[in-house]
Amino acid sequence: MLAIVVVAVSRYLPSAGSGFVAGTSSAIAALRGNPWGVPIVLLAFAVGSIVSFPILVLIGATVLALGPWLGFVCAAIGTMLAATVTFSLGRTIGRRPLRRWLGRRAQLLERRLERRGIVAVALIRKVPIVPFTLVNMLVGASGVSYRDFIVGTAIGMLPGIAAFAIVGGRAAELWTNPTPTNVALAIAAVLLWIAVVLGLQRVMNRRTRK
């Protein structure tokens, strides 16, 4: 999914004043230099997860606004914080109310969690069948331990966020300065992203078969 966002954001780069990601990015960029900027961004992730604001929009906007390094750190911590908040909310609400509310989607997710643990959570992050917020709530209600949940979430999402930070930064440089070096670096970043995704998928598939 993050690969799709990379393509979408790169298309928005020529018209950074328009679009959902660009608008969110502008709001975050306005916090640069503010000592409360980073805490506000992290709070936005937490609150955004509660109201089911698209997590990929927040990740993309944060990386574009703050740059690849600080953007990655804030997006990674913010994603883990958002996941924790809605995981806790799901554990508080419980399984039955969520089942009544979500119906078949809850059943699909529960089937994927039958074997429980880190691998199950990581695989759900790779092939999401329910929005980010609802996944967190359902996993919280399912009884999966917080340790397995947060480690699985990190394995499933952090490589993608890192790849987005690299590709997003290179895409911006490529647009403003399309030198052969920047073109080569952008291609290398995309290939690195593909290699990471395929490698993780192979490892998780082997663990699932055992």
Number of Cβ atoms within 10 Å of the Cβ of 101: 12
Using CA atoms of 18, 68, 28, 17 in order, give the dihedral in degrees to the nearest 10. -10
pLDDT, tens digit (0-9, with 9 covering 90-100), for 2-45: 433 333 433 433 333 335 556 666 777 676 677 788 898 999 99
Closest CA to 169 of 31, 71, 23: 71
Average pLDDT of the residues in 123-147: 83
Domain ranges of the chain: 2-205
Q: Decide: 168 and 16 in contact? Cβ < 8 Å.
A: no
Helices 37-50 and 55-66: crossing angle, nearest 10°?
170
Average pLDDT of the residues in 176-193: 65
* Residue the block writes with tokens 């052969």: 180
Closest CA to 166 of 146, 191, 200, 147: 191
Q: Write the DSSP assignment of 13-36 as a string of letters.
A: GGGTTSSHHHHHHHHHHTTTT-TT
Number of Cβ atoms within 10 Å of the Cβ of 74: 25
Model pTM above 0.85 = no
pLDDT, tens digit (0-9, with 9 covering 90-100), for 140-155: 988 888 999 999 999 8
